Amino acid sequence: MQSIKKLKNIEGKIALVRVDFNVPIKNDKVEDDFRIKKAIPTIKFLQNKGAKIVLISHLGKGLSASGTSGESLLPVGIALNKFIKAKFVPNIFGKIACDAIFNMKNKDVILLENLRNDKGEQSLNKNFAKNLSKLADFYVNEAFSVSHRKDSSIVLLPKLLDSYAGLQLEEEVKNLSLVFKKPKKPFLFILGGAKFSTKMPLIQKYLKSADNVFIGGALANNFLKAKGFEIGKSLVSDSKGIEKILKNNSPLHKAMDGQGKLILPIDVVVSSKNKFINKKVSEIKKNETILDIGKESIKMIEPYIKKSKLILWNGPLGKYESGGDVATKKIIKILVLQSNTKTIIGGGDLVSVLSKLESKNYKLKPNLFVSTGGGATLDFLVNGTLPGIKALG
Ligand code: ADP
Ligand code: MG
pLDDT tens, residue by residue, 213-225? 999 999 999 999 9
| Dihedral of alpha carbons 198, 346, 168, 355, sign | positive
- Return the ∠ at Cα 29 (arms to 28 and 34), rounded to 5°: 140
Residue 260 pLDDT: 64
Question: What residues act catalytically?
Answer: 35, 195, 348, 375
Residues of the chain with pLDDT under 50: 255-258
Residue 252 pLDDT: 64
Pocket of ligand 1 (CB under 6 A): 192-195, 217-218, 235, 290-291, 314-316, 318-321, 324, 347-350, 374
Residue 188 pLDDT: 96
| Sequence-ordered alpha helix ranges (H) in 12-153 | 34-48, 74-80, 95-102, 126-133
| Dihedral of alpha carbons 279, 284, 285, 286, sign | positive
Residue 256 pLDDT: 47
Residue 290 pLDDT: 98
Q: Which atom belonging to ligand 1 lies closest to the Cα atom of 199?
A: 7
User: How far apart are the C-alpha atoms of 196 and 245, rounded to whole Å?
Assistant: 12
Residue 274 pLDDT: 86
C-alpha 334 chain-centroid distance: 21
| Sequence-ordered alpha helix ranges (H) in 227-287 | 242-248
Residue nearest to atom 12 of ligand 1 (CA): 193
Residue 69 pLDDT: 84
Residue 200 pLDDT: 94
Q: What predicted TM-score, i.e. pTM, was given to this entire model?
A: 0.93
- Per residue in 3-30, is it b (16+ CB within 10 Å) or e — as a string? bbeebeebeebbbbbbbbbbbebeeeeb
Percent of the chain with pLDDT over 90: 86
Distance of CA 294 from the midpoint of ligand 2 (Å): 22
Burial-class residue 382 by CB neighbours within 10 Å (0-12, 13-18, 19+): middle
Q: Which atom belonging to ligand 1 lies closest to the Cα atom of 321?
A: 16
Tell me, what DSSP letter sits at residue 65? T
